[in-house]
Chains A and B, each alone.
Chain A
């Protein structure tokens, strides 16, 4: 039915376009000078029909299900409705829907059958109503716009006004997204902090996100202190940077000053390939090759290396970040003015001394910005750690041990069926909130450094 509504809309809009353009054209051929060319009269009609009608259809689609649910639940007998928890309401609704869908288990009560029938009929009514209402709206708009065609009608300004507003809407979507992220995270996080005190979350040293299945379970409370999780994240991030920063900086310096032109032309795209490989591939690489290799190397040295060692996840993440750091550093060094380099060389510095003592310090702000962005990447990176790091939060900074990260916990807490009324699920949102805030601060800081620095030499 939705498809039909869209089809009707499209047909009416095209009709409006053609009708208005022809009407305007007819006025034009009688010798009158039109304010706007006929094409704009057509465009005005099509846009005036499409925009409100599409908004209507979308609002309808989003609002339809909750409203129908509300009506059905409201129509239930009182004794069936009172004293239900959120979960039970959902369950009842699901049962009514499945009866309405023809999947009947056992012998449901009469009022459930009645509710299912009402549900089904409301559904039918709403889809027919959608088609009728959109068709009516479109045709009304078609008639109105057709009447507006005239010699003096400023169709171009009207049409461009609509387009202008559409463009503004497009660019505001980015703000909507940010607002959506913040709202979603904040909303669920506040719910979480109602169940678990914020001080326990921020300063607790234990992370055991269990929830009791029965009231009387032993060790049923679970612990939600994020310190071990954030420490694990920092361990892996540090390992990643210890791999990525030296390799990235050294290769950037080499490519920037010493590499022959042909090598540079080949090497940069190859490094970009490393950046383009999806993280799930790196995760598989970590468990297939790197972790077993580290484990056997550790055994040869007599070290006890955990199968989910932070070294494997962090090292592979480091490989992923090499091109990131290298390209930022390369850009920063390329932005150092030629005059500084020439000055150093003229004083008799070797090229290495010029790079280390002049170019590198001059490029430091840009490089720091790039490394900070890499840190934020490493903290937010998910798939590598989900596949290669551990699940259990242990408070350790030994990279040979298994540690867990914020993103791993978010994913493991939310995989599978989730209900939004227990602290286990909500804890993931609290972690997400912290992750968002930390990376946001680092990003803003890094972007500011990079930008200010760029302006300094431009």
Chain B
């Protein structure tokens, strides 16, 4: 072997080693990059899991409510037929509680108050409604199951630590002893919290429910749908099928795209200034909320409808035109029905967004404290997201879990709506 070939072989070996080393480095870099990507994705999933997990953990407790079952002697002294629906129902309940604990001094007001604070403020109204329905019950002993007040609900669910010093919790040692005694008698139960769906808002967590918010959201969404669906489809049909390609059409289109990106709180300002201040529409009304949401949903529906119309193949249009249909007949009789699944999917997704929208509703006053459900869209009401906002702001412990529960209800509706949208898309989708 000559020197030259030897050194060439040497060079080749060196280069080979160099390449091998750099390859290791480059592959390492690729592996690192893959890892970063997976880590990023993992971070996003982890956050979603923590979000949903923490809501479930704190929210599931609000789906049950601690109740106490009492035998109540409806004392004719306290409750008189002729005075109904008035009567001292709270005294009747307190007396029946005191009967269970002979060592309680019924003469001491302080002690009686401490004892009867176990019961929810709503208990007396439940008893009252029962007696008003059937006045015959006066003078007899009835068995009632009434909710306990929030601190005892927390105690029953084990959220109040008994080890904490007495002055740092909202229930006294004596009250805990009473509660435990009731529990031993089997008087304490924890049934499903129907009040969460059948009651409107209340200052007392154990009585607060979502009925008002659900109905308010329903009215707002209905108004939103009735306005944005026809307007959105009309606008999309015009822009996609009939509009001449000129500056005005371009301007409308840019306008719609920009509207889709305007911050939601600005729509709230619009509604406050125009609908409420200039037109004098009522504050807090789901009707006004629905109109505001409609303006926000409009771009979503227009964009979805245009995409759906575009997806209908030209052959359909040409065939219809060929047999003598007018351009409007082509659109309304042939293209639109075929595009309907796509339009409905887009509309439902738009409505789902509107259901979760909060900021504009705050500005038009749909965060008021309203204890009755709206019977028309013009009554004052809250909506589901604003109710969540109100409860999240409330200091009582019981509202923390109720806020989470309300969020779970909201998320449930969103999943349902999006599920319907996906179902429609998969079920009715036609490939041409």
Contact = CB atoms under 8 A, between A and B. Distances in A.
Given A350-B26, A428-B269, A382 B279 contact: no
A280 B410 CA distance: 11
A156 interface: yes
A279 B274 contact: no
Nearest to B237: A167
Given A251-B41, A411-B363, A280 B358 contact: yes
Contacts of B264: 380, 382
Interface in B228-285: 230-235, 237-239, 242-243, 251-252, 254-259, 261-270, 272-274, 277, 279-280
B280 A66 contact: yes
Contact of B238 (A168, A258, A270): A168
B44 A432 contact: no
Interface stretch (A5-13, A76-84, A131-139, A174-182): A174-182
B265 A180 contact: no
A435 B47 contact: no
Interface stretch (B6-14, B31-39, B109-117, B311-319): B31-39
B62 interface: no
A447 B262 CA distance: 13
A373 interface: yes
A229 to B, nearest CB: 14
B238 A170 contact: yes
A202 interface: no
Contact of B277 (A62, A166, A420): A420
B388 A439 contact: no
A274 B48 contact: yes
Contacts of A444: 254, 258
A174 B255 contact: yes
B314 to A, nearest CB: 19
B266 A170 contact: no
B177 interface: no
Nearest to B48: A274
Interface string B296-318: 00110010000000000000000
Interface residues of B, number: 85
Contacts of B411: 277, 281
B230 A281 contact: no
B95 to A, nearest CB: 39
Nearest to B332: A163
B392 interface: yes
Interface stretch (A15-23, A48-56, A99-107, A283-291): A283-291
Contacts of A440: 258, 262
Contacts of A170: 230-235, 237-238
B37 A278 contact: no
Interface in A245-268: 246-251, 253-255, 258-259, 267
B30 A376 contact: no
A323 B45 CA distance: 11
Given A380-B265, A436-B266, A247 B43 contact: yes
A174 B407 contact: no
A72 to B, nearest CB: 14
B266 A432 contact: yes
B63 interface: no
A253 B277 contact: no
A187 interface: yes
Q: SS class of chain B's interface: helix, strand, loop or mixed?
A: helix
Contacts of A173: 231, 235, 298
Given A280-B385, A447-B257, A381 B235 contact: no
Nearest to A178: B255
A387 interface: yes
B256 A254 contact: no
A164 interface: yes
A1 B67 CA distance: 47
A381 B357 CA distance: 11
Contacts of A355: 33
A373 B50 CA distance: 27
A386 interface: yes
A172 B298 CA distance: 12
B352 interface: yes
Given A250-B36, A281-B388, A174 B44 contact: no
8 contacts: A164-B328, A171-B302, A174-B256, A175-B251, A279-B356, A280-B388, A281-B51, A322-B44
Contact of A254 (B41, B299, B353): B41
A342 interface: no
B27 interface: yes
B280 A429 contact: no
Given A247-B40, A439-B262, A411 B238 contact: no
Residue in B33, B258, B388, B400 whose Cβ sees the most chain A Cβ within 10 Å: B33
B359 interface: yes
Contact of A185 (B50, B255, B269, B353): B269
Contact of B358 (A322, A352, A383): A383
A284 B258 contact: no
B30 A352 contact: yes
Interface string B336-356: 000000000000000011011
Given A156-B326, A250-B39, A171 B48 contact: no
Contacts of A276: 352-353, 414, 418
A177 to B, nearest CB: 5
Contacts of B414: 276-278
Given A66-B280, A447-B257, A432 B410 contact: no
A280 B356 contact: yes
B17 interface: no
Nearest to A244: B44
Given A352-B29, A411-B363, A429-B273, A167 B45 contact: no
Contact of B44 (A247, A277, A443): A247
Contacts of B33: 253, 258, 352, 355-356
Contacts of A267: 41, 45
B172 interface: no
B108 to A, nearest CB: 41
A282 B389 CA distance: 11
Nearest to B388: A280
B392 A284 contact: yes
B307 to A, nearest CB: 15
Contacts of B44: 247, 251, 270-271, 274, 319, 322-323, 326
A392 interface: no
A379 interface: yes
Residue in B232, B265, B272 whose Cβ sees the most chain A Cβ within 10 Å: B265
Contacts of A249: 40
B263 A439 contact: yes
Chain A to chain B: the 6 pairs with minimum beta-carbon distance, closest first? A254-B37, A380-B263, A278-B356, A170-B234, A184-B273, A352-B30
A66 B278 CA distance: 9
Contacts of A177: 259, 270, 295, 298
Interface in A407-458: 407, 410-411, 414-415, 418, 420, 428-429, 432, 435-436, 439-440, 443-444, 447
